[in-house]
Amino acid sequence: KDQYSPQSLEQVGTRIAKALEKNQTSWVLSSMAALYWRVKGQGKKAIDCLRQALHYAPHHMKDVPLISLANIFHNAKLWNDAIIVATMAVEIAPHFVVNHFTLANVYVAMEEFEKAMKWYESTLKLQPEFAPAKNRIRTIQCHLLLKKERRSP
């Protein structure tokens, strides 16, 4: 059997669980388990796994579980919590594009477009060809322009 053949989500979950039984202090495995639970729609279980990942992750890697936590909060519309943990992730890893992009996305959800633009622009400073950030900047610019035109007589 090919060891790289596609696996079902359940098979992946089982493998992660077995690996965690052998190494309960692995922040990487806990982060993987959190992703599994997010895909399964079990946010509470994902958060529990991320708490464990945060506990065991070395400081310079804590941005990985923090940004996952920010995404869970974002999806749950807990935007202030998402901003707090995403900002912590940026402080730990200021050169990691995903951290900037996630923070921008949360600000868009909050309709704080100027702040979102700032973070999309910082995303592009780190990775100038990052198309999703370019596209979102254009979308915000169009939105703000339409909003301005509607106000004008």
- What is the per-residue DSSP string for 58-75? -GGGTHHHHHHHHHHHHH
Q: In the chain, what are the domain boundaries?
A: 83-152
Three-state secondary structure call for residue 123: helix
Pick from 78, 38, 141: which is nearest to 133 by CA? 141
pLDDT at res. 82: 98
Q: Is the pLDDT of residue 9 over 90?
A: no
Topology of 83-152 in CATH? Answer: 1.25.40
* Per-residue pLDDT tens over the stretch 12-64: 888 999 999 999 999 999 999 999 999 999 999 999 999 999 999 999 999 99
* Per-residue pLDDT tens over the stretch 64-120: 999 999 999 999 999 999 999 999 999 999 999 999 999 999 999 999 999 999 999
Q: Is the pLDDT of residue 3 over 70?
A: no
113, two tokens: 């477009």
> What angle is formed at CA 106 by the lines to CA 102 and CA 111, rounded to 5 degrees?
145
